[in-house]
Structure 1
Amino acid sequence: MKKQGVLNRDIARVLASLGHTDQIVIADCGLPVPLGVECIDLSLKYGVPSFLDVFTELLTDMEVEAFILAEEIKEENPLINQMFELQAIPTYYLPHEKLKTETSKAKVIIRTGECTPYANVILRAGVIF
């Protein structure tokens, strides 16, 4: 049995397969999943698991070089946006419709139970060397 890190076998598999600049998405329960993009659905009920719980755990296991968020998060979900502003990782913003289009390039969308507006992020994989 795995001793540390992400225990979910599907997420662990995806993280182990990432290369530089590959993208994964952590999504609220309302973000549409484009055809052809794998979805790992963690949602149990509204709010569980939370976006922040999943995000925090993934950051411990994944080298991230950039975050991509919807511009609308700045006004519609300032608490989650503030958490990104505190990170030492570059953050980029796109209009929500463009963010949804960009998710079609992701290796996976991890769906949470989050039900606050615009709680979606694209994580771009970095390298550890």
Structure 2
Amino acid sequence: MKKTGIINHSISEVIASMGHYQKIVICDAGFPIPPHVKRIDVSLTPGMPAFMDVLKTILVELCVEDVIIAEETGLYSPQRLEEITTLFPEINPTFVPHTEFKEQSKTAIACIRSGEVTPYSNIILVSGVTY
């Protein structure tokens, strides 16, 4: 049995397999996950697990070079945007319209669906390298 880190098999496997510039999406409960992208659904009830809990857990193991956020996040959920950007003090996020965000999610390795119900609680994490 794994002693530390993420114990969810599917999430651990995806992170371990990611290369430079590959993308993973963490999304809210209502996000339209593209049918061909690996779906890792960790939602239990509305709000559980919370988007921020899932994001913080992923960041323990994933080297992130860039983040992509829908422009609408700041408009409809400014507190959520502040919570997200606080986690990435060294990165200037790329902001795109939500329609483009959905298009970019089609190139992700996987989408992790949280139970979050706060509007626009979605992020694309672009993998970096540790060396």
TM-score when normalising by structure 2: 0.96
Aligned length: 129
Q: Measure, in 2, the Cα distance between the counterparts of 1:21 and 1:80.
A: 25
| Equivalent residue, structure 1, for 2:9 | 9
Please state whether the residue corresponding to 1:55 is helix, strand or coil: helix
Unaligned segments of structure 1, at least 5 residues: none
Secondary structure class of the residue paired with 1:12: helix
Take 2:7 and 2:80, find their aligned partners in 1: how far apart are those partners?
24
Counterpart Cα distance in 2 of 1:90 and 1:37: 26
Which consecutive residues of structure 2, in runs of 5 or more, have no partner in the other structure? none
- CA–CA separation in structure 1 for the residues paired with 2:92 and 2:21: 13
Rounded to whole Å, the distance in 2 between the matches of 1:24 and 1:75 is 23
Matched residues in 1 for 2:124 and 2:63: separation? 13
Tell whether 2:40 aligns with 1:43. no
Give me the identity figure in percent.
41
**Aligned equivalents of 1:66 and 1:72: distance in 2?**
18
TM-score by length of 1: 0.97
SS class of match (1:105): coil
More off after superposition, 29-38 vs 80-89: 80-89
SS at match of 2:75: helix
CA distance in 2, matches of 1:114, 1:3: 28
1:1-129 equivalences under 5 Å are 1-86=1-86, 87-88=88-89, 89-129=91-131
Q: Offset at 1:83? A: 1.8
